[in-house]
A and B are shown apart, each in its own frame.
Chain A
C-alpha cells in the first residue's frame, strides 16, 4: 500500500466533512494561538522589566540608610541618617571592585525661568552618577568634580523640564533658572529617556553638583543614598561585600549588631522582578497549555466519534482489501493533518494576536522562536497521541461486524 494513496484517502475523508474537520482544528488553533500569544506577552513584559532595570545603570549597587527603631517602633527604611559624603568618598578610594561612586541627595523644588515655573525633583550627585546610571547628554556638558567642590550653581536638566520652561525644541544651555530662589546656570541637557516601567517620567529631573544641593539648598550633612557601580558584572557581588565590610568598619558596627545601611544590587532587583515575570509567564503558559490539551481531547473525541460513525465505512474498506495497517495509517494521517494544519494556523493567529496586543494595547510583546517551536511540537504530539487510540480502535475492527454495524 502506497502512502500516497493513503494521503488521498485521508484527504478525501477530511474534505467530505469540512465543517467537522474545521471545528476539530479550531481547538488546536485556539490552543496554539493562546500559547504563543501568552508566552509573547509574558516574554515581552519580562524584557520590559529587564530593560528598565538596566536603565537604572550598569552593574549598579545602591547603598541606602537602614531603618531605625524608636521606642520599639520600626521606622521605614532610609529613616536613619547613617550615610555621609565621606562614606561615599571612602568607598570610591578603598573598594577596588567599585568603578563609579556618587552620593545622592534629592529634594523637590519650584523652578522659575522668566515667566514660567515648574515643580520637579532636584538631584545632587557627583559627576560619576551620570556614568553609573548611563545618563547621556544631548547638548552642553556635565559639571566637573571641581564645580562640586566649589558648590557651583550649575545644573543639567531633563527634557521635560526644558520643554516646560523654555518651550519645545528650545536651547536652554547658558540660561539661568532659579531653583528655590537660588539662581543656577544650565550647562547641559539630558537625552530623552521616556517613562520607566512604573510610569514615572525619567526626563522630569534636574541634576546639580552634590555639594551645591546639600549645602546651598538643604543645609544638611545627610545623604539619601549612595549609588555605586561595579567594575564588571561579575564583580557586583564582590563590590557589595567590600562596601558592606568598609561601612561596618566606618560606622563602628560590632560583629553581632545589624547593619545601619542596606546594599542592594541590580541583580537583586532583577531577581525580584525576574521571578515575578517568571511566575506570570508560567501562569499564562499553563492556562494556554490547558486550552491546547482541551483541543487535543477535542481531536480524540471527534476521532472516536468518527470511528463509531464510520464503522461501516471502515468495514467496506476492509472488505475491498484495506489492511488494518492501512486503516490505522489513514486515521493517523487524518488526526496529524488536523493538528499540523491547526498548529500552523494557530501560529499565524498567535503572532497576529501578539501584534494586536502590542499595537492596540500598548503592551510590550515578544514572540520567540522557542514558543513557536514549543507550541507546534506540542500540537503535533497532541495529534499523534490523541489520534493513535481511535486509529487503533478503527484498525482492529472485525470486517464482518463493521459491515453489519447500523
Chain B
C-alpha cells in the first residue's frame, strides 16, 4: 500500500447557514495513488472545489477521515497543516494568485521563505531552477504585469514546484487562458506527471480533462463517476497540430 497517497473515507462538508444546512460534500470516499493525474469535473456547486480545498489541507471536513501520505490530517493542528501545505502540496489557482509588484523570482521564492530548512543561498538557486524548468529562466526579474497570462500561470507552477511537493493541486489552472496556452500548461503538467509527481486538477473543460490519466465527476456533493481516460490526449502532439495549422493558414 505504499503507493497510496491520499485516502479519503466518508467525508462530509456541511456549511451551516442558520436553519438550513448546505451539504457541499456528502459521504465522499476515494483513494488516490502516487503518480496519478486526476481531473475532477463537475458543474458549479457540485462540490469539486470544496473537495480540492480539503485534500489540499486548506479546509477541514465536517466528518470523515482523511489520510495524506500516511498522516491523519484531522489530527494535525493549524501550524502542522501550514507545514504540510508548505512541504507536501503545491497549489495552482485559476486566477494565478501571484503577488503583484513582485518579481517572478521573488514569487517563486515565497514558499521557501516559509521553509526554515532552506538557506538563503539555496533559496535563490532553487527558485531560479524552478523558473527555468517552466521555461521562464530569462524572465526572473519581470514583474507580473509584464508577463502574459500563460507566463503568470507558469510562475505559479514554478512556485508550486519549488518545495518539491508530492502532490500538485490545480484549481482550474486553464480557466483564464486561451486554448493554445492551456495546452502549453498541460504539456508542463504531463511532463511533471511523467517524472512521478501526482497531480489533482479541477476543471470544467472536457478537452482539458482529456489530458489526465483518469477523470472523477462530481454531482451534488457526490462522486458519480471515476474512470480512466480513454483516448488520452498528449499536449506535445496537440501543440504540433496547432502549429501546423497556423503555418497552413499563414501560407494560404
Task: Show the binding face of A for B, using Cβ within 8 Å.
Answer: 1-2, 4-6, 8-9, 12, 16-17, 312-313, 315-326, 399-400, 403
A-B contact pairs, 22 of them (CB 8 A): A5-B114, A5-B116, A12-B102, A12-B106, A16-B101, A17-B101, A315-B97, A316-B98, A316-B110, A318-B82, A320-B86, A321-B82, A321-B84, A321-B86, A321-B115, A322-B82, A323-B78, A323-B114, A325-B79, A326-B82, A326-B114, A403-B97
Choose among A4, A312, A319, A322 the residue that contacts B58 (Cβ–Cβ < 8 A): A319
Beta-carbon contact of A400 and B53 below 8 Å: yes
Beta-carbon contact of B93 and A323 below 8 Å: no
Choose among B79, B87, B91, B116 the residue that contacts A319 (Cβ–Cβ < 8 A): B91
Additional A-B contact list (4), CB under 8 Å, known A316-B98, A320-B114, A321-B111: A9-B113, A319-B58, A320-B91, A324-B82
Q: Give the shortest distance, in Å, between B87 (CB) and chain A (any CB).
A: 7
A326 to B87, CA, bound (A): 16
Tell me how many residue pairs across A and B have CB atoms closer than 8 Å: 68
A319 to B53, CA, bound (A): 10
Q: Does B23 contact A (CB under 8 A)?
A: no
A399 to B52, CA, bound (A): 13
Size of the chain B interface, CB-CB below 8 angstroms: 28
Beta-carbon contact of B91 and A313 below 8 Å: no
Q: Give the shortest distance, in Å, between A319 (CB) and chain B (any CB).
A: 5
Q: Does B85 contact A (CB under 8 A)?
A: yes
Q: Does B83 contact A (CB under 8 A)?
A: yes
Beta-carbon contact of B93 and A403 below 8 Å: yes
Choose among B53, B101, B110, B116 the residue that contacts A320 (Cβ–Cβ < 8 A): B110
Interface of A is mostly: helix
Q: Which residues of the other chain, B, contact A319 by a CB distance below 8 angstroms? A: 58, 85, 91, 97
Q: Does B59 contact A (CB under 8 A)?
A: yes
Q: Which residues of the other chain, A, contact B115 by a CB distance below 8 angstroms? A: 321
Known A313-B99, A316-B99, A399-B58: A321·B87 in contact at CB below 8 Å: yes
Q: Which residues of the other chain, A, contact B59 by a CB distance below 8 angstroms? A: 400
Q: Which residues of the other chain, B, contact A8 by a CB distance below 8 angstroms? A: 113
- Interface digits, B63-91 against A, CB 8 Å rule (1 contact, 0 not)? 00000000000000011001111110001
Beta-carbon contact of A320 and B93 below 8 Å: no
Q: Which residues of the other chain, B, contact A1 by a CB distance below 8 angstroms? A: 114, 116
Q: Does B159 contact A (CB under 8 A)?
A: yes
A374 to B92, CA, bound (A): 50
A322 to B159, CA, bound (A): 14
Q: Which residues of the other chain, A, contact B82 by a CB distance below 8 angstroms? A: 318, 321-324, 326
Q: Which residues of the other chain, B, contact A6 by a CB distance below 8 angstroms? A: 113
Q: Which residue of B lies closest to A15 (CB)?
A: B101
Q: Give the shortest distance, in Å, between B156 (CB) and chain A (any CB).
A: 10
Q: Which residues of the other chain, A, contact B111 by a CB distance below 8 angstroms? A: 320-321
Q: Which residue of B lies closest to A316 (CB)?
A: B97
Q: Which residues of the other chain, A, contact B91 by a CB distance below 8 angstroms? A: 319-320
Q: Give the shortest distance, in Å, between A317 (CB) and chain B (any CB).
A: 7
Q: Which residue of A lies closest to B103 (CB)?
A: A12
Q: Which of A8, A321, A322 is the most central at the interface, judged by chain B CB atoms within 10 Å of its CB?
A: A321
A319 to B161, CA, bound (A): 14
A316 to B159, CA, bound (A): 11
